[in-house]
Amino acid sequence: MPKCILVVDDQRNMRQMVRSYLEQAGYRVVEAADGQEALYVARHEKPDLVILDIMMPDLDGYEFMRVFGKESATPVIMLTAKLEENDRVLGLELGADDYVTKPFSLRELTARVRAVLRRAAKGPVESDILHAADITLDRAGHVVIVNEVRVHLTPSEFDLLAVLMSAPGRSFTRLELLERLQKGMAFDGVERTIDVHISNLRNKIEPDPDNPCYIETVYGVGYRFAVE
Q: Could you report the per-residue pLDDT of 18-67, keeping only the tens digit for each?
A: 999 999 999 999 999 999 999 999 999 999 999 999 888 888 899 999 89
CB atoms within 10 A of CB 227: 10
Rounded to the nearest integer, the mean pLDDT of the chain is: 86
pLDDT in tens, 56-115: 888 889 999 989 988 888 999 988 876 566 677 777 778 788 888 888 889 989 998 998
> Comparing C-alpha atoms, which of 200, 220, 209, 184 is closest to residue 69?
200
Residue 76 in contact with residue 52, Cβ under 8 Å?
yes
Cα 219 → chain centroid:
25
Domain that holds residue 13: 4-120
**pLDDT (0 to 100) of residue 190:** 52
Task: Note whether 116 and 136 are same-domain residues.
Answer: no
In angstroms and rounded to an integer, the radius of gyration of the C-alpha atoms of the chain is: 18
Residues 6 or more apart in contact with residue 131 via CB below 8 angstroms: 137
User: pTM to 2 decimals?
Assistant: 0.60
Q: Looking at 86, 120, 154, which one is the last position of a domain?
A: 120
Task: Report the number of distinct structural domains present in the chain.
Answer: 2
Task: Note whether 22 and 115 are same-domain residues.
Answer: yes
Task: Note whether 145 and 213 are same-domain residues.
Answer: yes
Task: Note whether 112 and 136 are same-domain residues.
Answer: no
